[in-house]
Amino acid sequence: MSERIVVVGAALLDAGRLLAARRSAPPELAGRWELPGGKVEPGETPEHALVRELREELGVEAEALTRVPGEWPLREPYVLQVWTARLHPGSPTPKPLQDHDELRWLAPDEIWHVNWLDQDVPAVREVAALVGHGA
């Protein structure tokens, strides 16, 4: 059996809004919305991977806050784990530098206005419950 590899997703929150990112690749995922993040590298903590991925993908300085309970299967061997996160004061605003072509800050009543990746829906539901976004 192959080892599972953790993909860390950031529930990046700012003023009660959640950041959603639209993937630009690969073709089977393009156009669908996800939590920004990526694969945890060998020897790296998920929290560190989250900070690194947000820097690379969005050009922001951020920190991981708390783990959202749960773990969601992606295409084998990947599993999705999610942390809430916040921007550091003075961080640049997020830009879709890599992997994404559009970003949206979703207010609580907008959380289901984007077409989340199917495999992200249970994770987003959990985030919504945790942070009081309307489910």
Ligand X SMILES: Nc1nc2c([nH]c(=O)n2[C@H]2C[C@H](O)[C@@H](COP(=O)(O)OP(=O)(O)OP(=O)(O)O)O2)c(=O)[nH]1
Distance CA 31, CA 115 (A): 8
User: With binding defined as CB under 6 A, does residue 51 bind ligand X?
Assistant: no
- Pick the piece of the chain touching ligand X (CB under 6 A) from 12-20, 36-44, 63-71, 125-133: 36-44
91 alpha-carbon distance from chain centroid: 18
Scanning the structure block, which residue is given the tokens 């879709």? 96
- Pick the piece of the chain touching ligand X (CB under 6 A) from 61-69, 100-108, 114-122, 125-133: 114-122
Contacts of 13 (CB under 8 A, 6+ apart): 19, 84, 85, 86, 131
74, 29 contact by CB (below 8 A)? no
Q: Which among 67, 66, 49 is positioned nearest to 57, based on CA atoms? A: 49
Name which of 7 and 18 has its Cβ closer to ligand X: 7
Give least dist CB 38 to ligand X, A: 3
- Pick the piece of the chain touching ligand X (CB under 6 A) from 27-35, 85-93, 102-110, 126-134: 27-35
Give least dist CB 34 to ligand X, A: 3
Name which of 73 and 92 has its Cβ closer to ligand X: 73
